[in-house]
Amino acid sequence: MNEIFAHAKSILVVWVDDVDSEILATFQETLQNKAQQAHIAFENVQKLFESQRGTSSCDIILFDLVSKNDAPTNLDLLNEFFRLLHPNGYLITHVEHLKQKQTIDHFKMCGFSSCNPLDANSSFLIGNKTDDVKRHGSLWLCQKPSFDIGYSVPLRKTGISLIRQVSTTGGAKRVWTLEGDDDDDDDGIIDTDNLLDDNDRGKPDVKSYTCGTTSSGVRKACKNCSCGLAEELEQEEHTQAQQNIKSSCGNCYLGDAFRCAGCPSRGLPPFKPGERIILPTVSDV
């Protein structure tokens, strides 16, 4: 924890409601001690979206640590924090235990890849919280992923709109900006799934296939049958074959291409007239 602050160059403290300017000043001092290299900025959450701060401009964002109670987060807010953070940057906020599950999910949905509760050593951050609040919640540290799996890859259209749909606050300003298209990139192909509409996703009705002749919905085993259907069908065929003993066409000695359906030699290779081949039907391999 100390290391994170020691190395930070830019910290944004986002505060909620009316907070005494004295308290803010004290908090700033404490912070500056821990983060000697950092420039520390303060912003009220109501003004945050209007301010349109620069993308990837903060190393650490502290949300609502200064007030006594815990303000809930929402997806729009988290998305904005995500945008503002550098890759590998950190978001720290205090989360009520009751809201923990949902909040962590929101962190994930917005792309924070590493979310962990913090231990008591970070208590300098929540000095202003009431004891009750501290008891019923925990400090959480979330990290924005690094370059290659995170934000810098242009998001697909579908990805953005899905997150927006789940947003709980209407009328929020656009929080995502695509940082230019990577047209000259090797990876610049369209999302081919967008080429398909609902009709395309449907499958043909197999029963509607006309075949002209006598095919009758035969149960067919797959080429690499691994469920046992092939074995079942084998048994059926075997019993059927045993029941056909009379030849009706006299072409038994020719191959299956010339034999009739009831031929007792069906399944055997051609042989010389008069001769019979006994083939092992059950191989001992």
Partner 1 sequence: MLLEILFGSQTGTAEDVSERFSCMARSAGVQCRVRSLNSIQSMKDLGIYVLFIVSTTGDGEEPENMRQFWRIIMKKSLSSVPSVLSHIHYGLIGLGDSTYPKFNFVAKKLSKRLEQLGAHAICEKVLADEQHPHGIDGCIDQTFTKVFWKTFGDLIGQEFIPHIDQCLPSRYQIEWIDSREKDLSNLQSSINIPKIPTGYTSVPLISNTRVTALDHWQDVRLLEFDTNLSYKCGDVAVILPQCPLPAVHLLAKLLNVEDKLNHQFIASNETSFLSMTVLELFRDYLHITRIPSRSFFEKLVWFSNDERERERLLEFLQPESIDDLYAYCHRPRRTSVEVLQDFPLTTSSIPFNYVFDIFSPIRPRSFSIASSPKTHQSRIQLLVAVVRYKTIIALYREGLCSNYLSRLEPGENILMRIAPSFNLIDDDRPALMIGPGTGVAPFRGWILERSFNNQLLNMLFFGCRYRTKDAFIENDLLNDKINLIYIPAYSRDQEDKIYVQHKIIEYGHLVWEWIAHKQARVYLAGNAKQVPEQIADALKTVFIKDGNMTNEQADAYLREMERTKQFQRETWS
Please say whether the beta carbons of 121 and 93 come within 8 A: no
Distance in Å, CB of 24 to partner 1, minimum: 33
Among 171, 189, 246, 272, binds partner 1 (CB under 8 A): 189
Helix (H, G, I), strand (E, B) or coil at 23: helix
CB of 47 or CB of 203, closer to partner 1: 203
Q: Distance (Å, rounded) from C-alpha 101 to C-alpha 14?
A: 22
Q: CA-to-CA distance for 172 and 175, rounded, in angstroms?
A: 8
Between 177 and 224, whose beta carbon lies closer to partner 1? Answer: 224
Give the total of residues touching partner 1 (CB under 8 A).
68
Q: Which is nearer to partner 1, 127 or 255 (CB)?
A: 255
Q: Tell me: does residue 225 bind partner 1 (CB under 8 A).
A: yes
**Complete DSSP assignment for 124-174:** GGGTTS-HHHHHTEEEEEEE---GGGSTTSPPPHHHHHHHHHT-SSTTPPP
Burial class (CB in 10 A: 0-12, 13-18, 19+), 50: exposed
Extract the annotated binding site for [4Fe-4S] cluster. 249, 252, 260, 263
Smallest distance from the beta carbon of 42 to partner 1, in angstroms? 32
Sheet holding 114-117, edge to edge: 39-44, 10-15, 58-63, 85-96, 137-143, 114-117
Give every CB contact of residue 177 below 8 A, 6+ residues apart in sequence: 55, 83
**The tokens of 115 are what?**
């979310």
Give the angle subtended at the CA of 178 by the CAs of 173 and 184, to the nearest 5°: 165
Tokens, residue 208: 């509607």
Site mask for partner 1 (CB under 8 A), range 90-129, x = bound: -----------xx-xx--xx-x-xxx--------------
By the rule CB under 8 A, 226 interacts with partner 1? yes
Which candidate, 57, 82, 60, 83, places its Cα nearest to that of 1? 60
* Closest distance to partner 1 from the beta carbon of 211 (Å): 4
User: 123 vs 158, which CB is nearer to partner 1?
Assistant: 158
Residues 195-224 that bind partner 1 (CB under 8 A): 195-196, 200, 203-204, 206, 209-215, 218, 220-224
CB of 184 to partner 1, least distance (A): 8
Binding positions for partner 1, rule: CB under 8 A: 101-102, 104-105, 108-109, 111, 113-115, 145, 149, 156, 158-159, 162-163, 165-166, 181, 183, 188-190, 192, 195-196, 200, 203-204, 206, 209-215, 218, 220-226, 228, 230-231, 233-234, 237-238, 241, 254-258, 266-270, 279, 281, 283, 285
